[in-house]
Amino acid sequence: MAAYPEPGDLIEIFRPAYQHWALYLGDGYVINVTPIDEGPPAMFASAKSVFSRKAQVRMQLLKEVVGNDRYRINNKHDRTYPPLPVEEIIRRAQRFIGQKVSYDLLGSNCEHFVTLLRYGEPVSDQANKAITTIGFVTAAAGALSLLGILHSRSRERQY
């Protein structure tokens, strides 16, 4: 039997190329961030928010946010960061509904938002993986560039 979300639970929604995050409020509703210029359908909201600088905090039905995608309850940081009391999580979430917030993939994304509500700490494994990947790609590009310079210098000496 599938588990049902409880108020304050983090909901991980599996989009085709990334995960979108929401926080369960109760009675079938979640809070999540969506781009300001986007309306329905919700399944495209997070993809467009990657390119947006501002997002809207919305309270929506979980089934509308999920659409045809899969989701799961994922309170993955509970061992590292103790969750705030449920009443506090919900109170904090309700203060954000309808507000415009800044959005950026690496520093202030949908996962940062919901973990801030649940734990009081903005945490995003997706952002950490992206930062690591960017660092690796940058280092690799630098190494290849250096090899190219060294190779061209060694060819110059031959002539």
Catalytic residues: 20, 110
Beta strands in the chain (DSSP E): 10-14, 19-26, 29-35, 54-61, 70-73, 100-102
Contact (CB, 8 A) for 30 and 59: yes
What letter would DSSP give residue 97?
T
Q: Which residue has the tokens 């929604």?
A: 13
Residue 32 sits at φ, ψ, to 5 deg, of: -155, 170
Q: Which residues pair with 26 in a beta bridge?
A: 29
What letter would DSSP give residue 129?
H
Amino acid at 55: A
Question: Which residues have CB under 8 Å from 50's CB, separation 6+?
Answer: 18, 105
How far apart CA 18 and CA 78 sit, in angstroms, is 22
